[in-house]
Structures are given as structure tokens and as C-alpha cells.
Amino acid sequence: MPQPLATRAPAKINLTLHVLGRRADGYHDLESLVAFAGTGDDLRLEPGTGLALHVDGPTAPLAGSDADNLVMKAARLLADRVDGLKVGTFHLTKRLPVAAGIGGGSSDAAAALRLLARLNGLPVSHPAVREAARLTGADVPVCLEPRARMMRGAGEELGPALILPRLFGVLVNPRVPVETPAVFKALGLQPGQGLSVAAHPAHEASSPDALLTLLNKARNDLEPPALKVQPLIGEALGLIAETDCCRLARMSGSGATVFGLYDDCEAAAEGARQIRSLRPHWWVKATSLR
Ligand SMILES: C[C@@](CO)(OP(=O)(O)O)[C@H](O)COP(=O)(O)OP(=O)(O)OC[C@H]1O[C@@H](n2ccc(N)nc2=O)[C@H](O)[C@@H]1O
Ligand SMILES: Nc1ncnc2c1ncn2[C@@H]1O[C@H](COP(=O)(O)OP(=O)(O)O)[C@@H](O)[C@H]1O
């Protein structure tokens, strides 16, 4: 029985994000511990003669035109590299906030590459799949096999999959888009200029408590510039930090999504309830992270 051509595109969370410096090509070298949430978009592929995309779901209207969708960009890049690639129509159910620091578009693109690889009997480690991922965007390679791992460079250097203690979190987005280039620009580094040399061995933690302690010693260096671009991020961080039993409040990626971490699933659900009661129109999701 063939596997159904459907996959989840989970939200990517940067548990830590240290900017090491700005490179000559304008991109920034990062060091980030990336994990994936239990919440995400869904993608299905119906085999057919040409490439096409249908998008539905609550955040579909925010994801731009179908032609510019990262699902189509990734699929075209793979089709350009593999002769006779079998393709079809993608059906994307978009739930994640867009331009939100949780790599929704990148995860959708990576999901598209996984489905095309499955349809064509290619491993996701195939060089053409890896290259299509890298050329689609800096965050796409880490989303190809969505497991917690260290990400370095501009996203092209990936460490081995890590078995992190399970974390219980709340994701909060004030429903304002924040464009990634604007945040890197607000960081204000010149080409060749460094910012940090920190190495953070958060993955060495063997218990949730030890991991939370290590995460608290790390940072997201994009928080200060993102707060300049969108002050609501500071408000969201403050509200999370004030929820009962919150162990850590931090921004993911270039924002605006921020996350709170808690000791267990009940505390995370209660944290989500508290934020929702204060900001009923924001996107608030209790989720596990691993
Ligand atoms: C910041 C991060 C952290 O995981 O996440 P998000 O906030 O996007 O979720 C990523 O590095 C974002 O990856 P992604 O969103 O795929 O970036 P791209 O489309 O390739 O690049 C958009 C723009 O961001 C800047 N950029 C991106 C990555 C990087 N390491 N250095 C950069 O300077 C560049 O100005 C680039 O033109
Ligand atoms: N499938 C998609 N989902 C979300 N955004 C998409 C998608 N395809 C293209 N985009 C565009 O990519 C940009 C970044 O979106 P997204 O991946 O959600 O950002 P982030 O990585 O900050 O969470 C947006 O401006 C959006 O218009």
C-alpha cells in the first residue's frame, strides 16, 4: 500500500539564536538551537501532469499569491534539477501566522520537497533535494527533516538530530507581520562586523529542568532590533513572562512570534488561557516542542 502523499509542515522555533556576525554577502552567520512545534500547516500532493497549488485555511489570504508561494518555488527548483520529475497539484492548509519568525513558508517549502521526494522515490538527503531547499531560503534546509538540531552559518550547516527533553510551550503572535530583512537591517551590522562568539551547549541537557536552565543562559540576538521594528513584540514578551509558572519568555527567529516555556502541559495550557483572556484577538497556541 503506497504511503499517502500528505505531510505536516510544523512551526520552527528558534529556542536560541546568536548572531555571530555579518558576512561579505550580506547574510548573517547564526548559531541557533532549532526545535519544532506540534502545530503547523498541512500539505497534500495529488499526482498530476503539471505543478499547481491550492491554498486554503485561516491564514491563506496572508500568504501572498500562489505563484510566489515558497511551495511552488521549491518545487520548481527541484524540477529544474531532476529530469522527468513526477509532479502534481499541492493542497496547502495554511494555519500558521505569516512573516512571523516561525518559518511557516520555509516549512511548507520543505514539506513540498519531502512529498516530491517521496513521489519520485528519492531520499530527502539527495543532493538535488538539498540544493533546492538551500536555494529556496535560509530556513528551508533545517525544515527538510523537522527534528531539533543546531543550525549554523546562514542555515546551511546543520548538526545531527537531537533528542531534546520534551518542552511545553505557548506560542503568541500579535497578528502583525514582521519582515525578516527589516530586522537584520535594524541590527545594523556592517559586512565583516561580528556581534557574538557565544557557544551554547543547550543540547547537552538531559532533563527538561537542565534544558530550561541552559536556555535561560542563551539569547535571541534579533530581539532588540525586532522590538524597534515592532514594539508589540515587547508587549507580548511581557505578557508571557507574567503568566503563572513561566520559565522562559523569548522571541523566535526575527519575530513577531514569541514563546513561553513551562514545566508541564497543564501550566502551558493555563498560560495560553491567561494570554487569550488579555488579548482575545492574538494568535495563541499551547504546544509541545521537540
Ligand atoms: C531569522 C530566521 C532564523 O531561523 O528565521 P525567520 O525569522 O525567517 O523565521 C532565518 O535565518 C531566516 O530565514 P529565511 O526567512 O528563510 O531567510 P531568507 O528568505 O533566505 O532571507 C531573507 C533575508 O533575511 C536576511 N538574512 C536571512 C538569514 C540570515 N542568516 N542572514 C540574513 O541576513 C537577508 O537580508 C535575506 O535577504
Ligand atoms: N507558504 C507560505 N507561507 C507563508 N508565507 C509565504 C509562503 N510562501 C511565500 N510566503 C511569503 O514569505 C514571506 C515569509 O513568510 P514566513 O515563512 O511565514 O515568514 P517567517 O519565516 O518569518 O515565519 C511572507 O512575506 C510571505 O508572503
How does pLDDT run across 173-189, given as a tens digit for each residue?
A: 999 999 999 999 999 99
* pLDDT tens digit sequence for 60-104: 999 999 889 999 999 999 999 999 999 999 999 999 999 999 999
3-state secondary structure the chain: CCCCCEEEEEEEEEEEEEEEEECCCCCEEEEEEEEEEEEEEEEEEEEECCCEEEEECCCHHHCCCCCCCHHHHHHHHHHCCCCCCCEEEEEEECCCCCCCCCCHHHHHHHHHHHHHHHHCCCCCCCHHHHHHHHHHCCCHHHHHCCCCEEEEECCCEECCCCCCCCEEEEEEECCCCCCHHHHHHHHCCCCCCECCCCCCCHHHCCCHHHHHHHHHHCCECCHHHHHHHCCHHHHHHHHHHCCCCCCEEEECCCCCCEEEEECCHHHHHHHHHHHHHHCCCCEEEEEEEC
Mean pLDDT in residue range 241-248:
98
pLDDT of 236 reads: 98
pLDDT of 4 reads: 73
Q: Which CATH architecture has domain 6-158?
A: 2-Layer Sandwich (3.30)
Q: Is 106 in the pocket of ligand 1 (CB under 6 A)?
A: yes
Tell me the best of 98, 136, 176 to mutate to test the pocket of ligand 2, counting ligand atoms within 8 Å of each CB and taking the most.
Answer: 98
pLDDT at 286 over 90: yes
Query: What residues contact residue 266 under an 8 Å CB cut-off, 6+ apart?
Result: none
Judged by its nearest atom, the ligand closest to the C-alpha of residue 108 is 2
Mean pLDDT taken over the chain = 95
- Atom of ligand 2 at shortest range from CA of 108: 1
Spelled out in words, what is the top-level CATH class assigned to the domain 167-289? alpha beta
Mean pLDDT in residue range 204-211:
84
Q: Is 137 in the pocket of ligand 1 (CB under 6 A)?
A: yes
- Atom of ligand 1 at shortest range from CA of 254: 7
pLDDT of 32 reads: 96
pLDDT of 2 reads: 58
Domain-by-domain residue ranges, the chain? 6-158, 167-289
pLDDT of 289 reads: 96
- Answer yes or no: is 100 a known binding residue: yes
* pLDDT band for position 217 (cuts 50, 70, 90): very high
pLDDT of 194 reads: 83
pLDDT of 198 reads: 59
- Answer yes or no: is 146 a known binding residue: no
Ligand 2 centroid, distance to 285 Cα (angstroms): 19
* pLDDT band for position 206 (cuts 50, 70, 90): confident
* pLDDT tens digit sequence for 141-199: 999 999 999 999 999 999 999 999 999 999 999 999 999 999 999 999 999 888 877 56
Q: Is 35 in the pocket of ligand 1 (CB under 6 A)?
A: no
- Answer yes or no: is 106 a known binding residue: yes
Catalytic residue set: 12, 139
Q: Is 167 in the pocket of ligand 1 (CB under 6 A)?
A: no
ipTM here: 0.98
The C-alpha atoms of residue 120 and residue 167 are separated, in whole angstroms, by 35
* pLDDT band for position 227 (cuts 50, 70, 90): very high
- Answer yes or no: is 117 a known binding residue: no
Q: Is 93 in the pocket of ligand 1 (CB under 6 A)?
A: no
* pLDDT tens digit sequence for 2-24: 567 999 999 999 999 999 999 99
Q: 142-180 b/e with 16+ CB inside 10 Å = b?
A: bbbebbbbbbbbbbeebeeebebeebbbbbbbbebebeb
* pLDDT band for position 207 (cuts 50, 70, 90): confident
| Shortest-distance Cα residue to atom 1 of ligand 2 | 105
pLDDT at 290 over 80: yes
* pLDDT band for position 203 (cuts 50, 70, 90): low
Task: Check if the beta carbon of residue 226 is closer than 8 Å to that of residue 181.
Answer: no
Judged by its nearest atom, the ligand closest to the C-alpha of residue 107 is 2
